[in-house]
């Protein structure tokens, strides 16, 4: 806020907050005005985090845009250029796929939306949702300067698919010295993916013209649970019937349900909420019981089974 770019000061703010993920806006990449410094790489070095830069436009022999810092390695990074008009600054959204642990995938997105045109911001929101559709099966966090107040059409449009981490009004984040407007947000999807532990605007007035927003989220477990179900088996060919008890894993998944047994495997393209008719060898097995509504699809892996003829 004092007009000076001081990456060591910015890094110190980040290290004090000790985050797992950081979304940065207004980042220079080897521009003349920044003395050719790769600001993303330098902040990564100072904070000892992984990093990626997403260019929104060319500037003074380099680039200008957004960046991501992550405590976890970045597995897949894609920069999405958002719609803009000739008289407005180009904008981008940088998406990075990460694995906080060996059972969890997460998409982290940093962006900086248009600051002068609501209509253009709404176009950017639509383009952002379309761009991220390819990762719809992965929980996602969207963070950045959205240049929109909480009751704006932009935030209303985002709220159709994203859940805000703070209350309806939230604490203001801009300008840093005496903030009067909330422009910075952390959102996530789906709503069941995260639980908000805390959301706080930090009392930092010098490192940027916006105050930092620190949000702590608990990511819902994506690990599997071992459970038991009873199957009723009816072998139409042999005319015999019996009960088969399976022990299997159930995982929340957008993949098609799959039942595997030894070297055999069957894939099914549809199921209902209360029943599903897979083939079991030459028999037809029906799963009895209701599934939680949050499990739109299931992944089943058979561990063992016992067959008891009637």
* Model pLDDT for residues 282-298, shown as the tens digit of each residue: 222 323 233 333 333 33
Alpha helices, DSSP H, located in the chain: 7-17, 39-47, 118-131, 153-158
Rounded to the nearest integer, the mean pLDDT of the chain is 77
pLDDT at 54: 98
Distance CA 226, CA 103 (A): 15
Q: Mind listing the domains of the chain with CATH numbers? A: 7-219 (3.60.10.10), 225-309 (no CATH)
- Residue 50: closest CA among 94, 98, 8: 98
Output the CA torsion sign for 156, 118, 148, 123: positive
Q: pLDDT (tens digit, 9 = 90+) per residue, 45-70?
A: 999 999 999 999 999 999 999 999 99
From CA 90, how far away is CA 112, in angstroms rounded? 10
**Distance between CA atoms of residues 256 and 268, nearest Å:** 7
Q: Measuring CA to CA, which residue among 213, 186, 209 is closest to residue 201? A: 213
Residue the block writes with tokens 């159930």: 250
pLDDT at 232 over 50: no
Q: Residue 292 and residue 274: Cα distance in Å, rounded? A: 10
Contacts 24+ apart (CB under 8 A), 150-157: 150/182, 152/118, 153/118, 153/122, 154/113, 154/118, 154/121, 154/122, 154/125, 155/185, 157/122, 157/125, 157/126
Beta strands 21-29; 258-261: pairing state: unpaired
Query: DSSP readout, 203-233?
Result: ---SS-SS--EEEEEEEPP---EEEEEEEEE
pLDDT digits (tens, 9 = 90+) for 108-131: 999 999 999 999 999 999 999 999
Q: Looking at the predicted structure, is the pLDDT value of residue 268 above 50?
A: no
pTM assigned to the model: 0.73
- The 10s digit of each residue's pLDDT in 165-212 is 987 668 999 999 999 999 999 999 999 889 899 999 999 998 899 999
The residues pairing with 185 across neighbouring beta strands, listed in sequence order, are: 144
C-alpha–C-alpha distance, residues 9 and 14, integer Å: 9
Residue 301 has pLDDT above 60, yes or no: no
């Amino acid at each position: 806020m004092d007009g000076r770019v001081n990456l060591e000061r910015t890094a110190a703010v980040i290290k004090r907050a000790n985050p797992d993920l950081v979304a940065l806006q207004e980042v220079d990449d080897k521009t003349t005005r920044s003395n050719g410094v790769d600001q993303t790489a330098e902040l990564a070095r100072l904070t000892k985090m992984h990093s990626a830069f997403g260019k929104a436009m060319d500037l003074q022999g380099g680039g200008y845009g957004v960046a991501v810092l992550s405590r976890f390695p970045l597995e897949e990074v894609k920069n999405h250029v958002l719609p803009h008009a000739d008289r407005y600054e180009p904008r981008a959204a940088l998406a990075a796929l990460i694995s906080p642990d060996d059972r969890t995938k997460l998409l982290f997105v940093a962006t900086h939306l248009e600051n002068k045109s609501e209509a253009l911001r709404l176009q950017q929101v639509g383009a952002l949702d379309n761009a991220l559709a390819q990762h719809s099966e992965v929980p996602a966090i969207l963070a950045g300067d959205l240049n929109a107040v909480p009751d704006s059409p932009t935030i209303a449009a985002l709220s159709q698919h994203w859940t805000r981490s703070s209350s309806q009004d939230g604490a203001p984040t801009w300008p840093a010295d005496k903030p009067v407007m909330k422009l910075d947000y952390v959102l996530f999807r789906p709503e069941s993916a995260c639980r908000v532990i805390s959301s706080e605007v930090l009392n930092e007035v010098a490192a940027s013209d916006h105050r930092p927003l620190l949000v702590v989220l608990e990511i819902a477990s994506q690990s599997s649970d071992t459970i038991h179900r009873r199957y009723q088996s009816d072998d139409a060919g042999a005319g015999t019937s019996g009960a088969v008890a399976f022990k299997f894993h159930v995982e929340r998944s957008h993949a098609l349900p799959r039942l595997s047994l030894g070297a055999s495997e069957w894939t099914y393209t549809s199921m209902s909420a209360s029943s599903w008719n897979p083939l079991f060898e030459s028999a037809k097995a029906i799963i009895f019981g209701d599934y939680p509504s949050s499990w739109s699809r299931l992944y089943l892996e058979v561990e063992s089974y016992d067959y008891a003829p009637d």
